[in-house]
Amino acid sequence: MRMDALLSERFRFSDLSNISHVKLSKIALDAKISVERKIREGIYKFEDKPCFCGSNDSLIIAERDRYGLYYPVVICKQCGLIRVNPRMTSDAYQDFYSRYYRRFYGDDDYDKNELWSMRIEQGNDVFEFIKQNLPELSGTVFDIGCNMGTTLIPFWKNGFDVAGVDYGSEYIEYGKNRSGIENLYVGDIKRLLNLNKKADLVILRYVLEHFLDLEEELRNIREIMKEGGYIYIEAPGTFWWIHNICSGNFMGVLQNAHAYQFSLTTLTYVMECSGFELVVGDEKIMAIFRKSETFRDKSDITKNEFRRVVNYLHRIEKSYVRKQYIIRWLELFHLKEPVKLVYYYLKKHRGK
């Protein structure tokens, strides 16, 4: 059963609510128009799916994403996991990723040299996090959704055997030519299975939230890992991301490419049920799990996670709406810029 309990009216979808809440480039706007048409004409079909925990009891909290696309977001009343339901079918998602994803989400807005530099810096951060928490790690590293392969470069330079897969053929070719890493392939986990080697570490950087079938995908990932191997997961964690990246605006984290939204608690539940134990992690989410021989029973659900997440979302939405109300009044009386200057001055000199 789904109850109509949107966080606020601004999350309701209608023909009048499809205005994007973020600035879109010409490339992204054209992609949005095409996606909207395919949804409207039924070319992109939707299907109902139960939660990972098996429950169909959910609360709907949003009907649209930050781009104004139809995007029904629910939270499971049993385990607290946020997901899209109904969601696009796998065929629809496959067409979306092959035709529109890169254009829609901005990669094509950057010069590839500029994008390369950004990705290199991010890859170095991942390497430092891994070495800090797994200082004895060596061997083979696989990156699923590797983009240009930049996250693999510091591992490769430090003697690791590396390989990566991604659906973006243009980015794979650019990465191979730029990095010198040969083992970058167009495809998915199945391509890594064909290498006939097992990974000591699997990297999932902003990938897990895109999986449609968490159970199946994580089972496949176990197949490419050594016993006792590790998996690094980075994802937009609900509690940290909304506050630190989206300035308290839940709308900012909603994008139609994401099938799931995690807190550290719901991520740990999913991973433990799939045969992985938490080594280290935070609400950001940057986390390392170890492949385990034990599997948590799905009925062993963390109590009160649903209430914790819902209360947070309602609290932060009220704060955001109140903030926007104040901003509108400041703009009306031409006080926004002076108040902003005072705010940044006090922030800069606080504690001095």
**Is residue 264 a part of any domain in this protein?**
yes
Tokens of 258: 């994401």
Which residue in 57, 46, 50, 63 sits closest to 9, CA to CA?
A: 63
**Is residue 317 a part of any domain in this protein?**
no
Looking at residues 98-120, what average pLDDT do you find? Answer: 79
Q: Are 72 and 152 contained in the same domain?
A: no
Looking at residues 279-283, what average pLDDT do you find? Answer: 97
The pLDDT tens digits of the residues spanning 126-153 come to 999 999 999 999 999 999 999 999 999 9
What is the distance between the alpha carbons of residues 97 and 102, in angstroms, rounded to a whole number? 7
User: Which pLDDT belongs to residue 184?
Assistant: 96
Q: Are 206 and 172 contained in the same domain?
A: yes
Contacts of 113 (CB under 8 A, 6+ apart): none
The pLDDT tens digits of the residues spanning 53-74 come to 999 999 999 999 999 999 999 9
Q: 107, 125, 156: which is the final residue of a domain?
A: 107
The pLDDT tens digits of the residues spanning 153-164 come to 999 999 999 999
Q: 239, 264, 291: which is the final residue of a domain?
A: 291
Per-residue pLDDT band for 343 (boundaries 50, 70, 90) equals low
Q: Over 120-145, what HEC string results?
A: HHHHHHHHHHHHHHCCCCCCEEEEEC
- Residue 302 gets which letter from DSSP? P
Q: Are 170 and 80 contained in the same domain?
A: no
Q: Are 77 and 152 contained in the same domain?
A: no
Per-residue pLDDT band for 350 (boundaries 50, 70, 90) equals low
292 phi/psi in degrees, rounded to 5: -120, 165
Give the three-state DSSP class for 19.
coil
Q: Are 126 and 269 contained in the same domain?
A: yes
**Is residue 313 a part of any domain in this protein?**
no
* β partners of residue 203: 143, 232
**Is residue 323 a part of any domain in this protein?**
no
What is the distance between the alpha carbons of residues 107 and 147, in angstroms, rounded to a whole number? 10
**Is residue 335 a part of any domain in this protein?**
no
Query: Any idea which of 94-103, 241-250, 259-268 has the lowest mean pLDDT?
Result: 94-103
Q: Are 193 and 123 contained in the same domain?
A: yes
Per-residue pLDDT band for 332 (boundaries 50, 70, 90) equals confident
Q: Are 130 and 89 contained in the same domain?
A: no
Q: Are 152 and 275 contained in the same domain?
A: yes
What is the distance between the alpha carbons of residues 106 and 182, in angstroms, rounded to a whole number? 26
User: Which pLDDT belongs to residue 346?
Assistant: 66
Q: Are 147 and 244 contained in the same domain?
A: yes
- Regarding beta strands 2-4 and 225-234, do their DSSP bridges make them parallel or antiparallel, or are they unpaired? unpaired
Q: Are 91 and 117 contained in the same domain?
A: no
Q: Are 195 and 254 contained in the same domain?
A: yes
**Is residue 319 a part of any domain in this protein?**
no
CATH of the domain at 148: 3.40.50.150
Q: Which domain holds residue 58?
A: 2-107
Q: Are 88 and 157 contained in the same domain?
A: no
What is the distance between the alpha carbons of residues 226 and 15, in angstroms, rounded to a whole number? 50
- Residue 85 gets which letter from DSSP? S
What is the distance between the alpha carbons of residues 89 and 49, in angstroms, rounded to a whole number? 10
Per-residue pLDDT band for 17 (boundaries 50, 70, 90) equals low
What is the distance between the alpha carbons of residues 193 and 175, in angstroms, rounded to a whole number? 21
Give, for 276, the enclosing helix (H) or strand (E): strand 276-281
**Is residue 193 a part of any domain in this protein?**
yes
Q: 291, 309, 326: which is the final residue of a domain?
A: 291
Which residue in 84, 112, 23, 51 sits closest to 299, CA to CA?
A: 51
The pLDDT tens digits of the residues spanning 169-189 come to 888 999 999 998 999 999 889
Name the domain count of the chain: 2
Query: Any idea which of 67-71, 73-77, 283-287 has the lowest mean pLDDT?
Result: 67-71
The pLDDT tens digits of the residues spanning 235-257 come to 999 999 999 999 899 999 999 99
Give the Å distances, CA to CA, from 316 to 74, 251, 265.
17, 11, 19
Give, for 291, the enclosing helix (H) or strand (E): strand 286-291
* β partners of residue 281: 287
**Is residue 156 a part of any domain in this protein?**
yes
Report the predicted TM-score, pTM, of the whole model to 2 decimal places. 0.90
